[in-house]
Each structure stands twice: as structure tokens, then as C-alpha cells.
């Protein structure tokens, strides 16, 4: 689905998507985007930020509030880092600024669709794939996170970051390594993206977010996920 009020931009994106074999629905405003997502349940949403009736940020906020996990690629003429981080913080999966290369847009669409299909695919083996780090559990198959048995709501970006860390407890990941897990080798995405996700995750999984005991900073290197019951001690904020 393409939500874009600029007719020429929408037509350009539609043609490129259809050329790659996709069936495309185009809507012109934010409310129509919400209605059509609920009705058609698309595999991916290409979403302009500046639209009438409801802007793209509001659309993402509502969709994630409804626990809809479809990939969202945001398009905008805004180019400041704060705007980019706000979109990602609300739950967008990727972000491109105008003017953009249609070929790069298609490459990002392919990446998001591959990632989404891997997440949705059933596990080939019968054994559990739940990743446990102390009382924190990440279930990739069900796309669920729990802490001491209590469910934690995560955006797609937060989930991927937590899944990466939980797969190798106590390993220190650099910001660049985590960034590549989130967005691939994208030179336009800032390392601050990782910091925003970490800050938001700490609010959800830590008993005291300013004194984290699970998601720790290793100064000058990056982040790691650890089990506080193993005596790792309190990490710096």
C-alpha cells in the first residue's frame, strides 16, 4: 500500500512496485491509509509523512497502538535527525528523505519484505526458539517479549534489537553492529537510532530505567544484555 498525497510521487512509486510484481493500492490521506490497512491487511506500507486528515506519524502511532506489525517505510521532505528519530521511535521500520532514488526505494522495500517474511515463517524445528536471559524472554515465533512473566509491548525495531542481544547474552555489540541488524548497511541512518531504541527498551524492561541491570552500556564500545541474577552488577545508564 502506498499512502502519498502527491499524485506524481504516488504514481512513480506505484509503477516501480508493480514492475517488481507487487499488487499496489494507493491512498491520498492518512485516514484512508488507516481504513485500508484494516480492510486489506497489506504486506507493507509506503507512507508519506505530510498528508491531509492525518499525517504519517499519526498513522504509525495508531497502527502500532493497534499492535499491527506490518512493515512501514516512511517518506518525507523533512531531513532533520530529530524527525527521523521520531518516526523510528513511533514504530516505523525505515525512513527515506525526498528526493530519493526509486531504485534505492525498491531495494529497501525488498529488504523489509524479506525480513517480514522471515519473522512470519513457521519454525522448521519443533523445539522452542524462545531466547531467555534471566527473567527476560524473547519469543521470535510469537513476536513476544516478557519480563518476569509480564508481556512487554515493543515496536518492530525494539524487538529486533532485543532479539539480537538476547541471542548472545553478555556479548558486547557496537552501535554499528546493532544498526546493521536494524537497517542494514544504510549510511543515512544515525547511530543515535540505536540509543533511542535502547532508552525506550529500558523504560519497558528495567525496574529502574536510569539504573539498568539488564540492558547495559559498555562505555566506548556499545551495549549488552545480561542476567542481573548472575551477579553482573548494575551497569551505567
Secondary structure (DSSP) of 12-74: HHHHHHHHTT----EESSHHHHHHHHHHH--S-EEEESS-SSS-HHHHHHHHHHTT----EEE
Cell 532479539, located at residue: 163
Domain boundary among 59, 86, 120: 120
Q: What pLDDT, on the 0 to 100 scale, is given for residue 80?
A: 59
In a domain, 141, yes or no: yes
What is the distance between the alpha carbons of residues 145 and 154, in angstroms, rounded to a whole number?
Answer: 8
Q: Which of 89, 120, 151 finishes a domain?
A: 120
Q: Indicate whether 27 pLDDT > 50.
A: yes
- Asked whether residue 17 carries a pLDDT value surpassing 50, the answer given is yes
Residues 155 and 106 in one domain: no
Whichever domain contains 137, its CATH number is: 1.10.10.10
Q: Provide the number of structural domains found in the chain.
A: 2
Which of 108-112, 163-167, 189-193, 195-199 bottoms out in mean pLDDT, i.e. has the lowest?
A: 189-193
* Residue 142 covered by a domain: yes
Q: Is residue 23 part of a domain?
A: yes
Question: Helix (H, G, I), strand (E, B), or coil: what is residue 151?
Answer: strand
Residue 77 has pLDDT above 90, yes or no: no
Where a domain ends, among 72, 100, 120? 120
Where in the sequence is the domain holding 208, given as residue range(s)? 131-230
Residues 95 and 85: their CA atoms lie apart, in Å, by 9
Average pLDDT over residues 216-234: 82
Query: What is the pTM assigned to this prediction?
Result: 0.55
Identify the DSSP state of 6: -
User: Does residue 10 register a pLDDT over 50?
Assistant: yes
CA distance linking residue 140 with residue 226, whole number of Å = 18
The closest alpha carbon to 149, from 169, 135, 131, belongs to: 135
- Would the pLDDT of 29 be above 90? yes
Stretch 121-131: mean pLDDT? 60
Q: Are residues 36 and 100 in the same domain?
A: yes
* CATH value at residue 83: 3.40.50.2300
113 and 17 within one domain: yes
Q: For residue 71, give the C-alpha cell.
A: 512493515
Do 146 and 183 belong to one domain? Answer: yes
Percent of the chain clearing pLDDT 90 (strictly above): 42
Amino acid at each position: 500500500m502506498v499512502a502519498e498525497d502527491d499524485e506524481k510521487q504516488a504514481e512513480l512509486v506505484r509503477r516501480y512496485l508493480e514492475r517488481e510484481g507487487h499488487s499496489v493500492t494507493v491512498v491520498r490521506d492518512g485516514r484512508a491509509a488507516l481504513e485500508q490497512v484494516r480492510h486489506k491487511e497489506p504486506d507493507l506500507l509506503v507512507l508519506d509523512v505530510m498528508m491531509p486528515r492525518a499525517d504519517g506519524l499519526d498513522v504509525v502511532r495508531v497502527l502500532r497502538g493497534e499492535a499491527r506489525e506490518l512493515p512501514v517505510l516512511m517518506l518525507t521532505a523533512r531531513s532533520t535527525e530529530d524527525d527521523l528519530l521520531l518516526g523510528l521511535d513511533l514504530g516505523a521500520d525505515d525512513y527515506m528523505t525526498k528526493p530519493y532514488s526509486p531504485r534505492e526505494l525498491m531495494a529497501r522495500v525488498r529488504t523489509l519484505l524479506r525480513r517480514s517474511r522471515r519473522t512470519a515463517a513457521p519454525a522448521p524445528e519443533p523445539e522452542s526458539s524462545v531466547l531467555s536471559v534471566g527473567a527476560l524472554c524473547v519469543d521470535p515465533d510469537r513476536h513476544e517479549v516478557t519480563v518476569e512473566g509480564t508481556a512487554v509491548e515493543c515496536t518492530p525495531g525494539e524487538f529486533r534489537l532485543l532479539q539480537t542481544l538476547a541471542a548472545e547474552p553478555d556479548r558486547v555489540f557496537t552501535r554499528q553492529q546493532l544498526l546493521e541488524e536494524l537497517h542494514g548497511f544504510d549510511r543515512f541512518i544515525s547511530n543515535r537510532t540505536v540509543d533511542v531504541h535502547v532508552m525506550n527498551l529500558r523504560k519497558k524492561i528495567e525496574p529502574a530505567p536510569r539504573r539498568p541491570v539488564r540492558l547495559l552500556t559498555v562505555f566506548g564500545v556499545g551495549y549488552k544484555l545480561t542476567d542481573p541474577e548472575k551477579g553482573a552488577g548494575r551497569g551505567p545508564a
